Amino acid sequence: MAQTPVKVTVTGAAGQIGYALLFRIASGQLLGADVPVTLSLLEIPQAVKAAEGTAMELDDCAFPLLRGIEITDDPNVAFNGANVALLVGAMPRKAGMERGDLLEANGGIFGPQGKAINDHAADDIRVLVVGNPANTNALIAQQHAPDVPAERFTAMTRLDHNRALSQLGAKLQVPVTEIKKMTIWGNHSATQYPDLFHTEVGGKIAAELVDEAWLRDTFIPTVAKRGAAIIEARGASSAASAANAAIDHVYDWVNGTEWTSAAIPSDGSYGVPEGLISSFPVASRNGKWEIIQGLEIDAFSRERIDASVRELEEEREAVRQLGLI
Give catalytic residues, as residue numbers: 188
Report CA-CA distances (Å) from 123 to 37, 68, 126, 280: 17, 21, 9, 25
Asked if 96 and 19 touch (Cβ cutoff 8 Å), the reply is no
How many residues in the shown chain lie near ligand LMR by CB under 6 A?
10
| 161 is an interface residue for ligand LMR by CB under 6 A | no
Q: Is 237 in the site for ligand NAD (CB under 6 A)?
A: yes
* Rounded CA separation 238/249 (Å): 16
**Binding status of residue 230 toward ligand LMR by CB under 6 A:** yes
135 lies in the binding site for ligand LMR (CB under 6 A): no
Min dist CB 81 to ligand NAD, Å, is 18
Q: How far is the CB of 293 from ligand NAD (least distance, A)?
A: 25
C-alpha angle 109-243-309 in degrees, rounded to nearest 5 = 60
Nearest-CB residue to ligand LMR? 227
Beta strands in the chain (DSSP E): 6-11, 37-42, 66-72, 84-87, 126-129, 153-155, 179-180, 183-185, 193-195, 200-201, 204-205, 257-265, 277-285, 288-291
Query: Parallel, antiparallel, or unpaired: how do β-strands 277-285 and 257-265 relate?
Result: antiparallel
Q: Judged by CB under 6 A, does residue 159 bind ligand LMR?
A: yes
Rule CB under 6 A: choose which of 17, 121, 231, 305 binds ligand NAD. 17
Q: State yes or no: residue 247 binds ligand LMR (CB under 6 A).
A: no
- Which amino acid, residue 315? E
- 183 is a site residue for ligand LMR (CB under 6 A): no
Question: What is the DSSP secondary structure assignment for residue 272, as one 8-state letter?
Answer: P
Draw the binding track, 189-228, toward ligand NAD (x: CB under 6 A; -: no contact).
----------------------------------------
Q: What end-to-end distance do the CA atoms of the chain give, in Å?
A: 44
Is position 132 an interface residue for ligand LMR (rule: CB under 6 A)?
A: yes
99 annotated ligand-binding residue: yes
Bridge partners of residue 285, in order along the sequence: 288
Which residues are near ligand LMR by CB under 6 A?
92-93, 99, 132, 159, 227-228, 230, 237-238
- Residues annotated as binding site for substrate? 93, 99, 132, 163
Which residues are near ligand NAD by CB under 6 A?
11-12, 14-18, 42-44, 47, 88-93, 109, 130-132, 134, 156, 159, 188, 237-239, 242
